[in-house]
Structure 1
């Protein structure tokens, strides 16, 4: 589904996206802006990145910093008078066997991928309650639903994002606030550049999966935008992801066998500590 084929929204929405200088965040910013939405792209760079397209506003925001979230809230209040859609997209990649990945890696990915989402939800929920409407979109991963071996820390934080999203979907519905969680499988992006861990074998395997994927960030973004328009609670972007999730839910022995085989392949590789 190309971005150009998406219908325009019935009215211009005010959208804040984290991690929007590259990858899926950039594709979402571009796609939403082209349809007439007002988009505020945020990322860790203090100066506006060249990648952010014309017509899209930019604000530096490190999702680990409470002060940056406070500034983002003040910015949308002052500039827009509110916000309609918050997309918590920022994240990093990691992978590692439990006895190879370090505790520093665990702290880093929890702080960015899980607590970054939590900070965004906590910061903007009071504003959305004041408005009596809004939509929070949290980008997790298929890894939040299907838990392959060698990815304990990544699986854990993405499963946490799924759990937070489902909880808030129920908690905030009485206030007119929708919550969606996005669970894409591997797609071509620069996420591999954020790998920084001790398990070189798992890092190399993850980068290969990203590079070999036939799906682009723009293709995934088009499906995500369609899901946002429909206010779906879970947005699955790939047919193979849908199959994997359904197999886990409804054919557990087959799922378990596949994961055990994957674990055996990982066990046959040597530990590469850099």
Structure 2
């Protein structure tokens, strides 16, 4: 029998949002009592998301509209973290932001100079989920990259799940065209890369083995957890738990989740909920 004791001994839980905490504009059944149970156990929790369009405050407002009140400091979107990543690695630079106004504001707040996609030169082109992406943008930013600008992506997701299982195009779908045009590979900030996990652990002063990542995406949530050393819970949403989805990296072990569950209600029961 598998030992699930780590679920109640953890210091902090990190939850993905889309397809995990909510689906479309509806909270996942069981999420509110689950968070209440974690509070009873003295376990912190935060929301670690590859959402590159909304700030923590905006996501908090969306969650509140669904009936879940969350302090903005517990919401860690790549939207707000991207500027810090760039500053930590490259210092204060000039950035072209292909994405939302919130992403651009977050990058500017981190001390960078931001310019529009059709304005002058930039040291770095940051690509997020841009719902207004078009041919001229592709041509211009490809030219910028071929002229020496670095290509950085908020996240590699091709899509995220919407209501009724609809696939919503994500950053990775746009990124594919840019990489094809330029022959370059983007440097990614979000899951499964380690930066966001390390950022979250530092924020809560937590060691990897005291953290649990709960998510629905094996390619980002589970793979990223394995790379960063966290425990993980894969929420399948009723999909078959096919072991062929686990990623084997050269010289590394399989990035299998520690626990596989259908939904949040099952996780609630495992941590002592009824």
- State the TM-score, normalizing by the size of structure 1: 0.36
Hey, which of these two has a bigger chunk of helix by percent?
A: 1
Name the structure with the higher strand share: 2
Structure-2-length-normalised TM-score: 0.36
